[in-house]
Amino acid sequence: MATLEHYIIDLKALGEEPAHYEYLLDNDFFALLETTEVQKGALKVTVDVRKQAASFELTFQIEGEVVVLCDRCLDEMTQPITSTDKLTVKFGEDYSDEGDDVVIVPEDEGIINVAWFIYEFIALAIPIRHVHAAGECNPEMERKLQEHLTANEAGETAGKPADPRWEGLKNILDNN
């Protein structure tokens, strides 16, 4: 069984020269994290680690694609992902987040597991709105959506007349 141990970087073992790590992510990676937003994908991730005076700078380069649900038809769709992100890691007493891009790891351990950071960078690279290109959505769902929109424009929902209380609320808007 796969584990997330593959994504551990031993910072104490790094020398002065920059270190380079490569990861190929597939559906198994997302299954290990047990997340709901992204469950499938194929991505290449490179992590370059540079030791600085009192910290480490990690640069993440992510390229590939993930499978997400279309906001319009709810079918799966492929979303390309390209992202470059930086993370600064410092040694301290306990593990903590010091902001969006600074993490403190216990000095006595001297390691960081980058799996969750990789996932977060992927999730942040997904556009807020994701829909199929025109004509690629599920035709049955498109038909139902169009029926619903037409019914709403006519002031009816599923063959029922609109609630008269809404007309009273519309009058309030007209009085402004």
Which pLDDT score, from 0 to 100, does residue 119 have?
95
19 closest CA partner among 44, 48, 61: 48
| Cβ-Cβ contacts under 8 Å for 12 (sequence gap 6 or more) | 110, 111
Say whether pLDDT at 1 is over 60: no
Say whether pLDDT at 62 is over 90: yes
pTM higher than 0.75 for the full model?
Answer: yes
Residue-range domain boundaries for the chain: 4-125, 139-174
Q: Side chain identity at 11, as an amino acid letter? A: L
119 closest CA partner among 85, 75, 94: 85
Which pLDDT score, from 0 to 100, does residue 155 have?
59
Residue written as token pair 């980058």: 114
Say whether pLDDT at 175 is over 70: no
In the predicted model, what is the mean pLDDT of residues 64-85?
93
In the predicted model, what is the mean pLDDT of residues 88-108?
88
Position with higher pLDDT, 18 vs 152 = 18
Report how far residue 59's alpha carbon sits from residue 50's, in angstroms, rounded to the nearest whole number: 8
Distances (CA, A) of 63 to 46, 128, 154: 9, 18, 46
Query: What is the C-alpha radius of gyration for the chain, rounded to an integer number of angstroms?
Result: 24
Say whether pLDDT at 87 is over 70: yes
What confidence tens digit (pLDDT) does each residue in 113-145 have?
999 999 999 999 999 998 988 888 888 988 888
In the predicted model, what is the mean pLDDT of residues 53-77?
93
For the chain, what is the mean pLDDT?
Answer: 87
Say whether pLDDT at 170 is over 50: yes
H or E segment at 13? none
16 closest CA partner among 48, 52, 46: 52
Report how far residue 56's alpha carbon sits from residue 115's, in angstroms, rounded to the nearest whole number: 17
